[in-house]
Amino acid sequence: MSDPGEDLELWNAAAERYEEILTEGSDWRQGLVLRPAILEFLGNVGGQEVLDAGSGPGLLSIELARQGARVTAVDASERMVTLARQRVSAQSEAITVLQADLCCELPFQNDAFDAIACNMVLMDIREIDTVLAEFCRVLRPSGRLVFSITHPCFFMWFWEKDEAGNELFKPVDDYLTIRSDMNEFWGPTRHYHRPLTYYFAKLHSAGFLVDDFVEPVPACSRTPELEHVWRVPDFVVMRALPRGRAT
């Protein structure tokens, strides 16, 4: 397993470029695929206490606040927290931004939140037992956890293309092996590949049952440029409920 301090320093170094990509308009995946699916699974958040876990520069937190939620945004990266505070201070007083490591005990009382959103985080942290147990502890019995991850069946494999550059298929191999790899999307950061069965088992062990599951496609009309996204999904979004409520 990697050094947790090294993982965190990589994210501190990547923070500005990460924010730039998310805000300059070139990253259609967040705006057209991930956030619409997450917000749909969360449902009405008006007047509710919502934890944005692994909030990055705070874009999802701001959207949740616009929908009437009282948001607590946490991230382990000191630089991400700084960027989020700068963005949030100019847009919403309904958001509190804190630095907190999701691999440690969270600084909240039991049953503190009506909902937890965890957008594109779990595949980037070294272990998920702690955070899922903490999510179950701080989530109210009537609450819901909604999270997104890269699709572990397809994400780590590159497209095979024809001579014109059209995406044909993804050759998938060694899917079941748990491992870590380095990504270079916004500078080097570490990715932890885990098969879907791993996530379902860890959710169950932490006290959750999966209530809904989607492999989202863009919330727009199909275009030739993005045709491949409707054939092979990039992401998974799940909603999980505390087992007492789910049963």
pLDDT in tens, 116-129: 999 999 999 999 99
CB-based contact 92:121 (threshold 8 Å): no
Cβ neighbours for 60, distance < 8 A, ≥ 6 positions apart: 35, 38, 52, 117, 119
How confident is residue 25, by pLDDT bands cut at 50, 70 and 90? low
- Amino acid 3: pLDDT: 67
Beta strand residue intervals within 10-94, DSSP E: 49-53, 70-75
Backbone angles phi, psi at 8, to 5 degrees: -65, -40
Q: How far is 109 from 48, CA to CA, in rounded Å?
A: 16
What 3-state DSSP class applies to 17? Answer: helix
pLDDT on residue 39: 97
- What's the mean per-residue pLDDT of the chain? 91
Q: What is the pLDDT of residue 4?
A: 64
Q: What CATH number does the domain containing 199 carry?
A: 3.40.50.150
Q: Where are the alpha helices (DSSP H) in 139-238?
A: 196-206
Q: Tell me the three state secondary structure of residue 143.
A: strand
pLDDT in tens, 40-74: 999 999 999 999 999 999 999 999 999 999 999 99
| Model confidence at 1: pLDDT above 70 | no
Residue 115 has pLDDT above 90, yes or no: yes
pLDDT at 152: 94
% of residues, the chain, pLDDT over 90: 65
Total domains in the chain come to 1
Q: What is the DSSP string of 72-135?
A: EEEES-HHHHHHHHHHHHTT-SSEEEEE--TTS--SS-TT-EEEEEEES-GGGSS-SHHHHHHH
Whether 246 has a pLDDT exceeding 80, the answer reads no
Q: For residue 238, what are the domain limits?
A: 4-246
pLDDT at 164: 85
Provide mean pLDDT across the span 199-213.
97
pLDDT tens, residue by residue, 152-193: 999 877 888 888 888 888 888 899 999 999 888 888 899 999
How far is CA 247 from its chain centroid?
Answer: 26
pLDDT band at 31 (very low <50, low <70, confident <90, very high): confident
Question: Which tops the pLDDT comparison, 4 or 9?
Answer: 9
- pLDDT cut 70: percent of the chain above it: 96
Whether residue 206 has pLDDT greater than 70 = yes
H/E element holding 148? strand 139-150
